[in-house]
Amino acid sequence: MVTGAAKLLVSAGADHPALCLSSAKSNAFRSSSSPSSSASLQPSRVQFAVVNVSSNSPNPRSLRLCSAAVSSSVSEVKSSSVPFLDHKETNILHFVKYHGLGNDFILVDNRDSTVPKITSEQAVKLCDRNFGIGADGVIFALPGINGTDYTMRIFNSDGSEPEMCGNGIRCLAKFISELENSQGKQSYTIHTDAGLIVPEIQEDGQVRVDMGEPILKASDVPTRLLPNKDQSVVKCKLDVDGVSWSATCVSMGNPHCVIFGTNSSENLEVDELNLAEIGPKFEHHVMFPARTNTEFVQVFSPMHLKMRVWERGAGATLACGTGACAVVVAAVLEGRAGRACRVDLPGGPLQIEWREENNHVYMTGPAEVVFTGSVPL
């Protein structure tokens, strides 16, 4: 199996209709088949080959991910002067997969059109973790509008289209920097359905994002829960599955219901929650006309929070950037935390700050390449 997979990797090349993926480093998707990158590989390195299952397979459209120890024979891969993402085969989608704290996305270079290269139905298939690439969503880097550098669109793994995604926009910023071959500190203006978002790549590779102002007015979140603090919903009773939860509602351009406890217990132990069971009941609750993301939060200190999230359209994920922002805003509104917090998510920590001087929320965290590849549509 290893020998066969290794041979496929050598024979296919980056512009073969079969899928060809390489383990990713910073410039992997710009020179995935260059002689220099092949020659530098060591026998202990692992690359990936994705192949079409043959037509006599039970599912001929499914994909199989194979790993192979790369030997010196990899140097036989034919060189190409065409950057990986610039190959133009018909019905082949080139992509780069990224993750932000385990929240993973398929990134597509869509700068030549304002229309996404694939449909939402195709996105669902690509996001499938058994018969596709596997991801929480597909993100498109489209041309900017209204004077912005770029436009972001995203299809969730269920085919729905959210206003934006916090972890996703960090990945998009890193993707853009690679497309532009930029080095060091860079910032971009991104048009989203949640408004203008400005990610900035830091010198250490982390991405800080100006997420703008939180939306607290109940009708704008939106929620049908009655406002109980000015026009916002703070520590409001919400009955779900026979339990009375204490909910604070925040929008970061997309709706969030933040839960710190129930009416009988002020402090949650988030690891004890059956998220798969209760998450959908919050998401589809009648009080949230646009559905909602739901964050369950445990407070360790005024500067240290822990959350688990059920994302609208994606389910339980390892991280949610807009959710972490909403959590800090809600914690401040409830008097549980200060304006600068570390928020621990299942995939790792984010640094969140809600600045009083301009009312903007800032999120800082990583975005990493996973691999590059091509997939037949």
Residues forming the active site: 165, 320
Distance CA 245, CA 241 (A): 10
Q: For residue 320, which of 289, 284, 344, 356 has the smallest C-alpha distance?
A: 344
Backbone angles phi, psi at 77, to 5 degrees: -60, 130
Distance CA 288, CA 299 (A): 25
Distance CA 182, CA 102 (A): 24
Q: What is the dihedral of CA 337, 342, 345, 346, to 10 degrees?
A: -130
Report the 3 state secondary structure along the chain. CHHHHHHHHHHHCCCCCCCEEEECCCCHHHCCCCHHHHHCCCCCCEEEEEEECCCCCCCCCCEEEEEEECCHHHHHCCCCCCCHHHCCCCCEEEEEEEEECCEEEEEEECCCCCCCCCCHHHHHHHHCCCCCCCCCEEEEEEECCCCCCEEEEEEECCCCCCCCCHHHHHHHHHHHHHHCCCCCCEECCEEECCEEEEEEECCCCCEEEECCCCECEHHHCCCCCCCCECCECCCEEEEECCEEEEEEEEECCCEEEEEEEECCCCCCCHHHCCHHHHHHHHHCCCCCCCCCEEEEEEEEECCEEEEEEEECCCEEECCCHHHHHHHHHHHHHCCCCCCEEEEEECCEEEEEEECCCCCCEEEEECCEEEEEEEEEC
Distance CA 319, CA 195 (A): 21
- Per the document, the length of the chain is 377
